C-alpha cells in the first residue's frame, strides 16, 4: 500500500510534465516573442560557426574510418551473437552487459560529436553535402552497433529468460535507435528531431509504466521454456 501511494504521488509531477511537453509540441503557439527568440538563437548560431568545413569533414571521416577498422578487427566479438554464438571468454551476462555499456558510451560520444560538428562548422548542414553524408555514415555505424548490442541481449534472454530490467534495457536501446534513425532522416528533410526524440522517449516511458510487465515476462518465459 505504501509503495502504491508513493508511486501515485511521484506520478503527478511526471504526468504534468509529459502533458505539458506533448501539448507544447502539438500546438506550439507562434508569438512575436517566440519569433524574436528564434531570431536571437539563429544569430548566436551564426556567430559560433567558426570551424573550417575541411577540419570538420576530416575529423568525422577519421572517426568513421576508425569505427570501420574496429568493426573489421573485432567482427567475431561484435557479430557472433547474430549467429547465436557466445565468445568462450564471456558468460552470457558479461557479454550482454559489456555490449550494453559499450553501446551507451559510443552512442553518447557519437551524438556529442555530431551535434558539435553541425553546430560549429562554417557552412550549415543544408548547404554542406559532405557534412550530410558524414552525418549519415556515423549514424548508420552507430545503428549497426546498436544492433550488435541488442543481439547480445537477445542471446542472453534466450539463455536465461526475460526480466523487467531486460525489457527496460531493450526499450532503451530501441529509443537510441529511434534517435539515430531520426538523425539519418534529418539529413534529407528538415525534421523536428529533438522534439520527436523527446516525445518518443516519453511515449516509451509511459508504455513501460502502464504495460503489465510482470505478466509479459511470465508469458515470454513460458514460451522460451518450450
The Cα–Cα gap between 14 and 16 comes to 5
Q: What are phi and psi of 161, to 5 degrees?
A: 90, 175
Rounded to a whole number, what is the largest CA-CA distance in the chain? 63
Q: Which of 131, 77, 139 minimizes the C-alpha distance to 107?
A: 139
Tell which residue, 226, 132, 110, 127, has the closest CA to residue 185. Answer: 132
Q: Which tens digit of pLDDT belongs to each residue from 11-53?
A: 667 666 666 666 666 665 554 445 544 455 455 555 667 788 8
Q: Residue 183: which residues within 8 A CB-CB, separation 6 or more? A: 114, 135, 139, 193
53-81 pLDDT, tens digit per residue, is 899 999 999 999 999 999 999 888 889 99
Q: Are 113 and 63 in contact (CB under 8 A)?
A: yes
Amino acid at each position: 500500500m505504501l509503495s502504491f501511494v508513493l508511486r501515485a504521488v511521484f506520478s503527478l509531477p511526471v504526468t504534468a510534465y509529459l502533458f505539458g511537453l506533448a501539448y507544447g509540441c502539438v500546438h506550439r503557439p507562434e508569438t512575436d516573442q517566440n519569433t524574436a527568440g528564434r531570431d536571437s538563437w539563429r544569430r548566436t548560431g551564426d556567430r559560433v560557426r567558426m570551424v573550417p568545413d575541411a577540419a570538420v569533414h576530416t575529423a568525422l571521416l577519421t572517426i568513421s574510418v576508425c569505427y570501420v577498422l574496429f568493426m573489421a578487427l573485432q567482427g567475431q566479438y561484435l557479430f557472433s551473437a547474430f549467429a547465436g554464438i557466445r565468445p568462450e571468454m564471456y558468460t552470457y551476462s558479461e557479454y550482454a552487459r559489456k555490449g550494453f555499456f559499450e553501446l551507451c558510451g559510443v552512442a553518447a560520444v557519437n551524438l556529442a560529436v555530431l551535434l558539435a560538428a553541425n553546430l560549429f562548422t562554417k557552412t550549415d548542414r543544408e548547404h554542406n553535402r559532405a557534412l550530410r553524408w558524414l552525418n549519415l555514415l556515423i549514424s548508420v555505424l552507430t545503428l549497426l552497433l546498436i544492433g550488435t548490442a541488442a543481439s547480445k541481449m537477445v542471446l542472453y534472454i534466450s539463455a536465461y529468460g526475460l526480466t523487467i530490467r531486460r525489457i527496460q534495457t531493450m526499450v532503451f536501446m530501441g529509443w537510441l535507435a529511434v534517435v539515430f534513425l531520426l538523425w539519418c532522416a534529418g539529413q534529407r528533410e528538415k525534421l523536428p528531431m529533438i522534439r520527436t526524440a523527446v516525445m518518443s522517449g516519453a511515449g516509451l516511458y509511459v508504455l513501460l509504466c502502464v504495460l503489465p510487465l510482470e505478466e509479459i515476462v511470465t508469458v515470454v518465459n513460458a514460451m522460451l521454456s518450450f
